[in-house]
Each structure stands twice: as C-alpha cells, then as structure tokens.
C-alpha cells in the first residue's frame, strides 16, 4: 500500500454532523446566555449522570482544573501517593496545591499503579492516594480502596482516559471519593475542552460548585478562595451532540483495536495492551511496548513511521518524575518499571475515522523493523 498523502495522526477529534451542532447552537443568539451554568450546561450534567451511572457530576472548563480544584476541595495535606506514569497534569495538580507527590511504580501488565507497593510508601504525612486509569486500563480498585480504608486515606482517581467505561457493571466514576475525567478534543468523548468530577458525596459536589465559581456562595458571600473553572455553553452543546453518537464512535474504535491485535499479536518483542476482565473498554488508546527481541527500538520505529507520514506518540515519555521542571527533585530510578516502559512505549494512531486499510498499512510499516 502507498503512503497516505494526508498525515495519519495519532488521534483525530470526533465531531457531530455540522448541521446538528449549528442547529443546537442557534438558540444562544436569542438567549445570549453563553456561560455561568446555562441550560445546556445543566442538561449535559443531567445526561452524564445517567450515562456514567453516578450520583453527582460537576462540569469544568477542562480536566486539569477539575483535578486541581478537587484536590483543593478534598482538603488534602502533606503527601499524595500517585504514579509517575501519567500525563504531567496529574503531578502538576498535586504540586500546585502545595502537596508532595510520592511516586509508586506501575504494574507490568496494565501500566497502572502497582497496588501491592502502596503500603510501603505510606507515612504519617500521607493524606491520599491518586491512582491513574492508564490508556483506559482500570486500576486495582479493590486493593487500592482496601489500603485507603485501612489507613484512613482519601482516594481520588485520575480517570481522564476512561470515560464511558464500566467495571463489574458499575460506572468507573463511582469509585473512591471522587474521579476526574477529561473531555479534551483528543479524548473518546469531547466537549472541545472540558472535564468533570464525579462523586457520591453531596457536600464535595457543592464545594466544587463554589470553587469553580470563585468561591461564591451567594450574591453577597464569597467564603472560599476559588477559581474560574466553569464549562461554557458552546462546550456543553458539543458534549450533548457528541454524546448522541458516542456508542457508535466506541464501536468503530473497537474494530480498529481488534485489527491492530490481528496484525500484531504473537510478534516476538511486541507487548500489546492488556485485555482486562470485567472492564467495558472505551478503546481510547493502543499502546505497544517494543522489547529488545523486536529488533528495532521504540525510537527507530517512531522515526520510520514518521517517514511514512504516520505519527505515533511516545506516551508517556519522558517519565513525569524525570521532566526538566522537576530536575533534581525526584528519583526516576525508584520506579524502574515505569522508567523502562516510558523508554519503550508508542501509542499508535487510533480514532473512529481510521480505516482498517490504514491500520493494516501502519502495521506493515512497524513490522518492517522486526528481526
């Protein structure tokens, strides 16, 4: 197959039909209510409560604001046990709240936090565990929450990759004290930018509502130091439109993932993403780890794909704990599995619009480097 004339990007945003979105936007020109908890914001919130199977959803302008303000709302102190194998937003949200991230290594099978190592990291300063559901892979929820109960710790999940997923039939946002979701344009479900926190705690929900609106309690009372994290009406409308087509989008992504597996399973030196029991996947990402036996390393494959107009992503690389902004602060070698995986992983192109023919082509280019 010839190389595609258009670049094959690692992801492509899902958009509703243009006419559908414009028709939904049209009433804003009559109401002129563009933000501050408008009708579309409230409707999306209600629709997500039903879809995600959770008691409360608080919408935000983006996922990072959701995470940072949720940490504030939970009134965490001291140290937070988390993973270095994540997008830097997770670590930034902890540090920007004046807290210290303590990094736990990852499980080799699914790249999430190794729950068996958590207790060894707990000190008298630990206030919470902040695990990350990586690539849509769900953490060891039972073990994490058992450890948290034993040591009286909060649990806040970074669930940015897991929108639409369920675990043992329960919405993934129903675990822990709260979960943060990203609705960024690159995610399975997007509101252009956007995010949310899910929780079963009414008091936490109300506190988040105030914090994302400058700490305002009522017209004359501001009793918290908040921020401006509100989702606007254009974002909410995009979310409402995309939600109508979400199941179709996930099914298309499933076919892409299955085609990758058909082409790449059983190849020596290629480690594919785990298929987890009891998880309804959203097929958000397709990571591949290149081991020595493959014949070419990750960087060589990355460059060859690029020469064929195919753009994969070293996701997550560099490892968060080794980033230049944290130079000298953390020891990446303390989490050797995470460090090794970061140096070997590529996430391959995946979107609902990616044709199976192009998936075959991507795999052909990858396998050119096999011994």
Same domain, 68 and 129: yes
Same domain, 166 and 63: yes
The band of 371, judged by pLDDT with boundaries at 50, 70 and 90, is low
* Residues 183, 356, 260: CA angle, nearest 5 degrees: 75
Q: What share of the chain is helix, strand, coil (3-state, %, to 5)?
A: 40, 15, 45
Q: Which residue has the tokens 């990402």?
A: 285
Q: Of the candidates 243, 265, 300, which is a domain's last residue?
A: 243
Average pLDDT of the chain? 97
Q: 202-211 and 63-73 are packed helices; what angle lies between their axes, rounded to 10 degrees?
A: 120
pLDDT tens digits along 230-268: 999 999 999 999 999 999 999 999 999 999 999 999 999
Same domain, 175 and 54: yes
Q: Of the candidates 214, 243, 272, which is a domain's last residue?
A: 243
Same domain, 283 and 204: no
**N- to C-terminal Cα separation, the chain:** 21
Strand 195-199 vs strand 178-182: parallel, antiparallel, or unpaired? antiparallel
Q: How far is it, in rounded angstroms, from Cα 366 to Cα 348? A: 10
pLDDT tens digits along 4-52: 789 999 999 999 999 999 999 999 999 999 999 999 999 999 999 999 9
Is omega for the bond preceding 146 within 30 degrees of 0, making it cis? no
Q: DSSP H helical segments within 216-319, as ranges? A: 233-244, 246-264, 298-307
**Of 248, 114, 93, 212, which is closest to residue 160 (Cα–Cα)?**
93
pLDDT at 279: 98
10 falls within a domain: no
What is the mean pLDDT of the segment spanning 274-279? 95
Q: 233-244 and 39-52 are packed helices; what angle lies between their axes, rounded to 10 degrees?
A: 40
Same domain, 185 and 269: no
pLDDT at 3: 79
pLDDT at 4: 77
Q: How far is it, in rounded angstroms, from Cα 113 to Cα 144? A: 9
pLDDT tens digits along 284-320: 999 999 999 999 999 999 999 999 999 999 999 999 9
7 falls within a domain: no
Same domain, 221 and 182: yes
Q: Do 156 and 130 meet the contact criterion of CB atoms below 8 Å apart?
A: yes
Range of the domain at 26: 18-243
The band of 204, judged by pLDDT with boundaries at 50, 70 and 90, is very high
Same domain, 231 and 328: no
151 falls within a domain: yes
pLDDT score of 179 more than 70: yes
pLDDT at 369: 86
* Burial category of 64 from C-beta neighbours within 10 Å (exposed 0-12, middle 13-18, buried 19 and up): buried
Residues 6+ apart with CB under 8 A from 142: none
Strand 216-218 vs strand 221-222: parallel, antiparallel, or unpaired? antiparallel
State whether residue 351 is helix, strand or coil: coil
pLDDT at 73: 98
Q: Of the candidates 195, 212, 243, which is a domain's last residue?
A: 243
Domain harbouring 358, CATH code: 3.90.1150.10
Same domain, 220 and 305: no
Q: Work out the widest C-alpha separation in the chain, in whole angstroms.
A: 70
Q: How far is it, in rounded angstroms, from Cα 129 to Cα 116? A: 13
343 falls within a domain: yes
Q: How far is it, in rounded angstroms, from Cα 274 to Cα 359? A: 19
Same domain, 230 and 268: no
**Domain total of the chain:** 2
Same domain, 225 and 283: no
Same domain, 203 and 334: no
């Amino acid at each position: 197959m010839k190389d595609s004339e258009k670049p094959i990007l690692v992801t492509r945003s899902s958009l509703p039909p243009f006419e559908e979105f414009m028709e939904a936007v049209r009433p804003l020109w009559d109401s002129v209510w563009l933000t501050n908890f408008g009708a579309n914001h409230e409707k999306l919130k209600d629709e997500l409560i039903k879809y995600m199977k959770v008691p409360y959803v608080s919408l935000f302008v983006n996922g990072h604001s959701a995470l940072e303000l949720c940490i504030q709302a939970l009134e965490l102190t001291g140290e937070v046990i988390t993973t270095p194998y994540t997008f830097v937003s997770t670590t930034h949200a902890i540090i920007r709240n004046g807290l210290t991230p303590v990094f736990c290594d990852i499980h080799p099978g699914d790249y999430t936090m190794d729950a068996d190592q958590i207790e060894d990291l707990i000190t008298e300063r630990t206030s919470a565990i902040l695990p990350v559901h990586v690539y849509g892979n769900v953490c060891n929820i039972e073990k994490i929450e058992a450890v948290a109960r034993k040591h009286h710790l909060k649990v806040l999940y970074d669930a940015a990759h897991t929108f639409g997923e369920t675990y043992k039939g329960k919405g993934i946002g129903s675990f822990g004290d709260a979960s943060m979701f990203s609705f960024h344009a690159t995610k399975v479900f997007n509101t252009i930018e956007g995010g949310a926190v899910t929780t079963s705690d009414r008091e936490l929900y109300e506190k988040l509502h105030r914090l994302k609106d400058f700490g305002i309690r009522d017209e004359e009372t501001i009793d918290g130091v908040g921020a401006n994290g509100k989702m606007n009406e254009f974002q909410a409308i995009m979310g409402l439109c995309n939600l109508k087509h979400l199941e179709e989008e996930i099914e298309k992504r499933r076919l892409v993932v299955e085609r990758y597996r058909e082409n790449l399973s059983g190849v020596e030196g290629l480690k594919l993403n785990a298929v987890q029991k009891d998880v309804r996947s959203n097929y958000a990402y397709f990571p591949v780890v290149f081991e020595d036996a493959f014949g070419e390393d990750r960087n060589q494959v990355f460059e060859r794909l690029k020469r064929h107009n195919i753009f994969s992503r070293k996701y997550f690389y560099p490892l968060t704990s080794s980033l230049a902004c944290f130079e000298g602060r953390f020891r990446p070698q303390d989490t050797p599995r995470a460090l090794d995986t970061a140096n070997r992983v590529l996430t391959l192109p995946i979107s609902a619009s990616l044709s199976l023919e192009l998936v075959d082509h991507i795999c052909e280019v990858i396998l050119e480097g096999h011994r």
